[in-house]
Amino acid sequence: MDTVLRSRSKTVTIGAEQPFCIIGERINPTGRKAFAEELRAGDLSSAEADALAQVAAGADMLDVNAGIPLVDEADLLARMLGVVQAAVDAPICIDSSVIEALEAGLSVYEGRALVNSVTAEDDRLEVVLPLVAKHDAAVIGLTNDETGIPMTAEERLQHARKIVSAAQDYGIKPDDVVIDPLAMPVGADTGAVAETLRAMRMIRDELGVNMCCGASNVSFGLPERVALNAAFLPMAMAAGLTSAIMSTAENCVSSVRAADLLLGHDEWGASWIAAHRARVAAEKEAAEREVAAS
């Protein structure tokens, strides 16, 4: 199954036989006090800068979240999407739990968006899925419900089944449902990642749908987070993960692209070799500038 997303000028395809889709996580005020205050004051310059930096670092898509307390999220999200769309050509994952904000974001988005997200709760399925269908978008389905985050892979598979089935009731094909098997912090439970990987394999083998997760969640609360995230991603890819909302730190991006090559998703290593040549050229250019300036 392929999930096809578009901006005004670029198409990104998420699929089991496609290169892994990196969705930049940075444009999110959660845990970023200074960024949140900028957004509250109407300053969107950091959103633009983060968009440019993440695409330059290798992001295929960008997650955009405007969730700040006591702010008109619908208005802010619409304005952020306008700024990001003007800055880069990457398709966007519109990230909000507020229906009015999703509606506003989808109304101004130029292309085919990925909606982040819906859960297996009946009331959420009933309001989010019609909106996704109305705007011909794709949607991320989180494998939790009103009882919280399930601890076992079997329960997460059950929620995935429900979301995929409910989406079809609204005319949304399984191709356009991207399941999130919930990456949990290994620092809080040493078995958490193993259970998430088991859920990925079960969802892949039974449903065959694309999957996405918040990859940086696995390292929350631990030192050397980038190293942990970079180690997690190839394991998740081998288990069936086809995209992630993730850091675009060099270690993480390189780890993903190396796994693409090793898993057969980068034919003859063309992308890997091209990226290497680009880095060598950039380093040579930087060295020449340094010599010229001295």
Which tokens go with 248?
């675009």
> What local confidence, expressed as pLDDT, does residue 176 receive?
98
The model scores a pTM over 0.85: yes
CA-closest candidate to residue 236, choices 209, 252, 213: 213
> What local confidence, expressed as pLDDT, does residue 211 receive?
98
Q: Taking the domains of the chain in order of start, what are their residue ranges?
A: 2-263, 267-294
DSSP 65-96: E---TTS-HHHHHHHHHHHHHHH----EEEE-
pLDDT in tens, the chain (294 residues): 999 999 999 999 999 999 999 999 999 999 999 999 999 999 999 999 999 999 999 999 999 999 999 999 999 999 999 999 999 999 999 999 999 999 999 999 999 999 999 999 999 999 999 999 999 999 999 999 999 999 999 999 999 999 999 999 999 999 999 999 999 999 999 999 999 999 999 999 999 999 999 999 999 999 999 999 999 999 999 999 999 999 999 999 999 999 999 999 999 999 999 999 988 998 999 888 888 888
> What local confidence, expressed as pLDDT, does residue 292 receive?
87
Beta strand pairing status for 138-142 and 177-180? parallel
**143, 184, 200 from 191: Cα distances, Å:** 18, 9, 14
The Cα 93–Cα 23 span in angstroms is 8
Q: For domain 2-263, give the CATH number.
A: 3.20.20.20
